[in-house]
Structure 1
Amino acid sequence: MDNQQTKKGFSFKALAIILIITNLCTFLLTGTGLINLPNHVTVTVSNQEMVQGIKKLTLLERQLKRTYYQDLDTTTLMEGALKGLFAATGDPYTEYLNQDDFQSLMDSTAGEFEGVGIVVTENESGQIEVIVPIKGSPAAEAGILSRDIIVKVDGEEVTNKGLQSAVDKMRGKSGSAVTLEVLREGETLSFDLVREAIVSKTVHPKMIGDVGYIELNQFNEKSTEELKSALEDLKAKGMTALVLDLRNNGGGILDVCVEIIDMFIGEGIAVYTEDKAGNRTDYHSKEGNLWDGPMTVLVNENTASASEILAGAVQDYDRGVVVGTKTFGKGVIQDVFPLRDQSGYKVTVAQYFTPDGRNIDKKGIEPDVVVELPEDLKNHLTIPEENDTQLEKALELLGN
């Protein structure tokens, strides 16, 4: 859901060898699949289908450069071929990332980047859909809303062009201008924005009477310490109960999510994953409760991925009451792999399950208490407290 929702796996793992040969290379294809590359590198490819695929790709690359009516850049063609390889999975979360794409992803998980401040996903129709604008960002200030569809960036179509491609177009130097064309309920809107340095503060705490309220809008590298500090501060102010708001939280780093679950449920299985071979990996939280008092958790249709893991753990351990509407339903996890040339890729490696074994992919988490927002406020980032029916119910359940 989230171009930012990813478990980081920064280690060089064994990769299937995909070789792309340009017309600058001499090559020999034999029955055994022996390929000679530049710099005297020889690779044996045992899969005959792979051999034929490489041979065909090489032929077509040469033919395209020879016959196309304009000059073509080899690097651009090869990058397109690599992107196509990953796109062929049909999974919007599995992508090849060039150097710029990869750095952009790393900046996002660190919580600092330059751009307009929107968390987006690629929906099943290939459209770039806004999950949530970041509070205080140019996008939020301009009035971009959750569920808006970004159609063009500076006049360039972004539908069916890949999630990271759209994100990269919206990123840019602080102070530079960008125009977004947005589709909202059948109406096309245009927003002229100026990019800024976005420092994504993920935790927003306050007291509501004697109840602590914490909005957690992402799981990035700073979230654990931010939440820990917020809990300590609210306890010092006399908090007797807690509302944890995960609405519009599109997810983030799995390990950070597990650290945060640890603050509420203590020792136990926070989540587990299974890969295509059925291999199970358990992620354990530790005995580190920072809050063991009464709590409610707010969710909505934009609560996705890591935030669904947290909400599911709260339900499975009977740690609190989940209030709101059914969540997004992203129950798969991506690993991120760097390559030596500073590019990389991310790939969906497993499904995740809540502690009680629920897989919520494409199903979502059903709240314990269903409460809708007023229709005219459903896609708004900031909801006046007096009109927030979901928060009202969460406080009521805590006796406030």
Structure 2
Amino acid sequence: MYIRGRYLALALIASIGISSGVTALVTSNNGTSALPGSSTATPEFTKLMDTYNTLQKSYYQEAKSDTLLNGAIEGMIKSLEDPYSTYMAPQEAQQFHENIESSFEGIGAEIREEEGKIVVVSPIKGSPAEKAGIKPNDRIRSVDGKSLDGMTASEAVLHIRGKKGSKAELVIERPGQQGELNISLVRDTIPLETVYSEMLPEQMGKIQITKVSETTYTEFSKALTDLKAQGMKGLIIDVRQNPGGLLDKTVQMVDMLLPEGKMILQVEYRDGSKDTYKSDAKKEDLPIVVLIDEGTASAAEILAGALKESGDVPLIGTKSFGKGTVQTTKSFDDGSDIKYTIAKWLTPDGNWVHKNGIEPDYKVELPAYASLTAIDPEKEMRQEQFSNEVKSAQTMLDALGFKPGRLDGYYDAKTTEAVKAFQTANKLEATGTIKGTTAIKMMEQLQEKLKKNDLQLEMAERVLRKMIP
């Protein structure tokens, strides 16, 4: 999170499409730059200065000043053992700000580093990552053959990002599933649009917020106005798979939905002092429910927590991610930044959600097939093969009503017959193998089935229906 005026802008989770690193000088309290060994350095930096001078003079190869200083800064940040504190070289800092303010090219997923592994927080709606079936808590072990183990999230982003149209070959480790998944996808432009709205039956409006960027409040306000003009009687806010974003925009949205004077959140610093954010706008007179899941993080959790505790708004879905710290950034003249944690944020009632998440009032799980990864249309699956990809395909067939007989990843004769039945039903050549159009059709129909069987949304509609006068 970084400070902008009276608001704090959330930069809570590194994004694929963002990268981090820094080339910077050690800065003294008065804002002047002090190189190691200079007369302005404070006594506690003697060891650092001695190391710097020794390496410059005696290392067997030339030790560049920038490299040594960058390494020292990186070491300081890493010693905090905080996955949300990082450094950003000029290119990485530029990408970071682009993700907050504009579109970028990549696979479209928010990530973080956890114990040396790169972990997905949430795929972005409509992105290649979401279409490929990447899920929250997936571990990205490698990309294009390059291991990401041991990298910071910012370092990993440099390898995961790429030009639109370029292919990314990912190796994924999914908790609770044996073996690794090989996922192939094509990078694309990740869209700016963050708010999607529609009118559901019985004049119930639905607004989905996919992340919180510079344009989100404006988009949300317009969506709310449009739905009200259509006679909306109640509102479902969907922040599932929302990895967070800017706090000032979140505060503005929540401000529209809570009575004046109600607490939105508290920000607590290490000395115990707190900043409080309260609603000062007129509340929309609407019954509201909120959808959350394990991909709901940071700013999205602020919205959910504020509405739950200050507005008695029921939450529906599964427990949220649990990101409760605040970051700030410091920029340097060369375009680099450091991002580091300065505080923790608390819900209106003073609860710290960090690593705990927010529990829904109505716990509703999605069907098991909702967590399946995509299958690669370019790779052929046929009889006698055994893999996790085959297991995913078998589960898809089973969910679509074409019984493969087994779901363990072994492609036997019965799986072949199930594939032929699916192909025949969809007027495709009945080869009994899965590739190309067959794979694409399977995934499209599964997505459509999931959309029609969104148990969490169904519960939200039932709950909201009872709240509408």
Shorter-chain TM-score: which interval?
Answer: 0.7 to 0.9
Q: Which residue of 2 aligns with 1:231?
A: 224
Q: Which residue of 2 aligns with 1:317?
A: 310
Q: Which residue of 2 aligns with 1:94?
A: 85
Aligned mates of 1:192, 1:143 — CA distance in 2: 11
Query: How many corresponding residue pairs?
Result: 369
SS in 1 for 2:54: helix
Shift of 1:73: 5.6
- Whether 2:186 is the aligned partner of 1:194: answer yes
Q: Which residue of 1 aligns with 2:465?
A: 399
Unmatched segments (≥5 aa) in structure 2:
1-11, 19-26, 375-446
Q: Which residue of 1 aligns with 2:147?
A: 157
Q: Which residue of 1 aligns with 2:276?
A: 282
Please say if residues 116 and 195 of structure 1, whose CA atoms lie closer than 8 Å, have aligned partners that are also in contact: yes
Choose the corresponding residue for 2:104, options 82, 90, 113.
113
Please say if residues 169 and 182 of structure 2, whose CA atoms lie closer than 8 Å, have aligned partners that are also in contact: yes
- Whether 2:122 is the aligned partner of 1:132: answer yes
Mapping of residues 50-61 of structure 1, within 5 Å: 50-60=45-55
Q: Which residue of 2 aligns with 1:222?
A: 215
SS in 2 for 1:43: coil
Q: Which residue of 2 aligns with 1:43?
A: 40
Q: Which residue of 2 aligns with 1:176?
A: 166
| Aligned CA distance change for structure 1 residues 316 and 144 (closer, same or farther; 3 Å) | closer
Matched AA of 1:195: R
SS in 2 for 1:252: coil
Shift of 1:355: 1.5
Mapping of residues 8-27 of structure 1, within 5 Å: 21=36, 27=37
Please say if residues 385 and 391 of structure 1, whose CA atoms lie closer than 8 Å, have aligned partners that are also in contact: no
Matched AA of 1:126: G
Moved more, 374-383 or 252-261: 374-383
Mapping of residues 197-212 of structure 1, within 5 Å: 197-209=189-201, 210-212=203-205
Identify which of structures 1 and 2 has the higher relative contact order when contacts are C-alpha pairs closer than 8 Å and 6+ apart. Answer: 1
Q: Which residue of 2 aligns with 1:251?
A: 244
Shift of 1:192: 3.5
Aligned mates of 2:453, 2:257 — CA distance in 1: 28
SS in 1 for 2:345: strand
Q: Which residue of 2 aligns with 1:30?
A: none
Choose the corresponding residue for 2:156, options 163, 166, 175.
166
- Whether 2:338 is the aligned partner of 1:345: answer yes
Shift of 1:328: 1.4
| Aligned CA distance change for structure 1 residues 72 and 389 (closer, same or farther; 3 Å) | same
Shift of 1:74: 5.0
SS in 2 for 1:265: coil
Percent of aligned pairs with the same amino acid:
35
SS in 2 for 1:317: helix
Aligned mates of 1:208, 1:13 — CA distance in 2: 57
| Aligned CA distance change for structure 1 residues 62 and 221 (closer, same or farther; 3 Å) | farther
Shift of 1:136: 2.6
Shift of 1:133: 2.1
Instruction: Identify, as 1 or 2, the structure richer in strand.
Output: 1
Matched AA of 1:294: P
Q: Which residue of 2 aligns with 1:2?
A: 13
Shift of 1:263: 1.7
Unmatched segments (≥5 aa) in structure 1:
7-11, 22-26, 28-34, 36-41
RMSD of aligned Cα (Å): 2.7
| Aligned CA distance change for structure 1 residues 16 and 150 (closer, same or farther; 3 Å) | farther
- Whether 2:272 is the aligned partner of 1:261: answer no
Q: Which residue of 1 aligns with 2:452?
A: 386
Moved more, 100-109 or 137-146: 137-146
Please say if residues 56 and 64 of structure 2, whose CA atoms lie closer than 8 Å, have aligned partners that are also in contact: no
Shift of 1:301: 1.6
Aligned mates of 1:118, 1:82 — CA distance in 2: 27
Choose the corresponding residue for 1:376, options 366, 369, 389.
369
